[in-house]
Amino acid sequence: LRNLVIVLGDQLDPDASAFDEFDPAQDAVWMAEVAEESTHVWSSKPRTAVFLAAMRHFAADQRDAGHTLHYTELDARGNKGTLADQLAADLEKLKPEALAMTEPGEWRVREALQQTADAAGIPLDIRVDRHFFSTVAEFAEHAEGRASLRMEYFYREMRKRHSILMTTRGQPVGGQWNYDADNRKPFPKQGPGLVPPRATFPPDEITREVIELVEKEFGEHPGSLDSFAWPVTRAQALEALDLFIDERLPGFGDAQDAMWPGEPWLWHAHLSSSMNLKLLHPREVVAAAEEAYRSKRAPLSAVEGFIRQILGWREYVRGIYWTQMPGYVQRNAFEAFEPLPDWYWTGDTPMACLKDAVGTTLENGYAHHIQRLMVTGLYAMLLGVDPREVHAWYLAVYVDAVEWVELPNTLGMSQYADGGLMGSKPYAATGKYIDRMSPYCETCPFDPAKRIGDDACPFTTLYWDYLIRHEQPLAENHRMALQVKNLDRLDDDEIAAIRGRADAIRRGDVTAPEGAR
């Protein structure tokens, strides 16, 4: 055996760099389903099922292509349980001359596989991942010498470099780089109207087997598989992309930040898992969106807003991850050490917005960005939860969770635990923000306008408590100065009352008030 090509669960593209110069006569493919990937964080059932189902479909294609495949199933006898141990055992048997793989999406996995290869004395060729617009080296070059990093500047560079939404004279189409001011409207009071149906893919035989396996091996893990319908093949992912471009993209901008009970999907793309597993290339997603604008099927504000998420944020967070690891995961700028409340794993809370955000997360392995950032993320930050616990939750529950994208979003963007590397200020807000963007508060026993009292919204109490606890570092941030200044309006009694109620919330003794609305 000449080369053994390692393919991980988020590298499911036969044209990936790992396959460059692949010769079926001399080379073979290696894949393994191992328990550790579902247990190092308490991976939800939908997340594990998406990965395993997509891996098995990919494996079937490899066999059909006539490639020699060494594939270990999760419940195979003698399964070693970790990627490193399984690889070590297989290297002894197969004795390849060399190993090749595309860069993994997680520091931990990269280290483990490199060590395994070194211990076996077999050279491992780790190749650039072509499933991004930029390389980590390009990001590092952009970051070098800058006192602070901001996504917007990086995004503009990317627009120019890749000629996306640019005029022939090198100007941004429409004359502006960013159409956020036209996007992100609150939900219309009369309701969401007709949300287009999303692409769903009922499990085929392979996926049904995986669902059974996940129930058998990880029955106690969070989440449900009852309505599993995620794309797990490239053909399905392409179908989901087409449907998004036709049906949802035109409404994407307006509803980007809005929330509505019982409407988890709204006008979002639901393409993150397909892109992260490499069933779809971000270039084809961005090209399809740009084409929809150029053929007048979607407005510029929606298309620019959507492209910015992929060409801007997605690439930017990847650069942050690989240039900041391994130290990044330990960062805890505001010394937050509270445990994550247990109900993050069940949704059992009287707070209407959190109940729905956690509930949809567990049911579907999905919540849209603003639920992640401004509901579950905001609450954990205001409560003062240890960022590593928050990170372990986000990495566990979402079908699109891979550490390179999850960690900077969680630790940097949502928790501000990197002290401002990723974003310029914490996303701190009271319950009034949620009230503006959704009708949740109308059915909640708490009142978003109140900061003290039994029926005060816990977000609002904790927001003021957060400002009080971190007044000094926040006051030094000019983008927070105005918010901090509002503390001057509070007298000592009110400060004491806020702190007392915040402590009670932390102890977990917040229940819906008697005779609540």
Residues forming contacts to ligand SF4 in the complex (CB under 6 A) are: 351-353, 431, 434-435, 440-441, 444, 446, 448, 457-459
Q: Do 236 and 271 meet the contact criterion of CB atoms below 8 Å apart?
A: no
Q: Which does 434 bind (CB under 5 to 8 A by kind): ligand FAD, ligand SF4, none?
A: ligand SF4
- The smaller minimum CB distance to ligand SF4, of residues 47 and 451, is found at 451
- 187 vs 313, beta carbon nearer ligand FAD: 313
Tell me the closest approach of the beta carbon of residue 440 to ligand SF4, in angstroms.
Answer: 4
Q: CB-based contacts of 85: which residues, under 8 Å, 6+ apart?
A: none
Which helix (H) or strand (E) segment holds residue 500: the answer is helix 492-507
CB closer to ligand SF4 out of 340 and 353 = 353
Query: Which listed option, ligand SF4, ligand FAD, none, makes contact with residue 274 (CB within 5 to 8 Å by class)?
Result: none
**Residue 268 site contact among ligand SF4, ligand FAD, none (CB < 5 to 8 Å, cut-off depends on kind):** ligand FAD
**Nearer residue to ligand SF4 within complex by CB, 228 or 440:** 440
Q: Which is nearer to ligand FAD, 19 or 433 (CB)?
A: 433
In the 8-state DSSP scheme, what is residue 166? B
Q: Output the smallest distance, CB 170 to ligand SF4, in A.
A: 45
| Phi-psi region at 166: left, alpha or beta (left = phi > 0; alpha = psi -120 to 50) | beta
Write down how long the chain is: 517
Question: CA–CA separation, 361 vs 44, rounded Å?
Answer: 10
Q: What SS3 class is residue 28?
A: strand
Q: How far apart are CA 449 and CA 440, in angstroms?
A: 13
Q: Considering the complex, what minimum distance in angstroms separates the CB of residue 512 from ligand SF4? A: 10
Binding partner of residue 352 among ligand SF4, ligand FAD, none, CB under 5 to 8 Å per kind? ligand SF4
Sheet of strand 68-72: strand arrangement = 68-72, 28-32, 3-6, 98-102, 124-127
Q: Which does 441 bind (CB under 5 to 8 A by kind): ligand SF4, ligand FAD, none?
A: ligand SF4
Q: Which is nearer to ligand FAD, 117 or 390 (CB)?
A: 390
As a whole number of angstroms, the distance between CA 84 and CA 113 comes to 6
Q: How far is CA 88 from CA 105, 112, 158, in A?
A: 20, 10, 40
* Least separation in angstroms between CB 435 and ligand SF4: 6
Q: Where is 127: in which H helix or E strand? A: strand 124-127
Nearest to ligand FAD of 378, 510 (CB atom): 378
254 binds, among ligand FAD, ligand SF4, none (CB under 5 to 8 A by kind): none
- Given the rule CB under 6 A, which residues bind ligand FAD? 268-272, 275-276, 306, 309-310, 313-314, 317, 368-369, 372-373, 377, 394, 398, 400-401, 405-406, 409-410, 413-414
What does the DSSP 8-state code read for residue 385?
B
Helix axes 151-161, 136-143, angle to 10 degrees: 120
**Of ligand SF4, ligand FAD, none, which one sits near residue 314, judging by CB under 5 to 8 A according to partner kind?**
ligand FAD
Which helix (DSSP H) or strand (DSSP E) does residue 102 occupy?
A: strand 98-102
What is the amino acid identity at position 145?
Answer: G
Closest CB 257 distance from ligand SF4, rounded Å: 15
Q: Minimum distance between the CB of residue 491 and ligand FAD, rounded to whole angstroms?
A: 35
Nearer CB in complex with ligand SF4: 204/342: 342
Alpha carbon distances (Å) from 170 to 160, 165, 177, 313, 482: 7, 10, 12, 22, 38
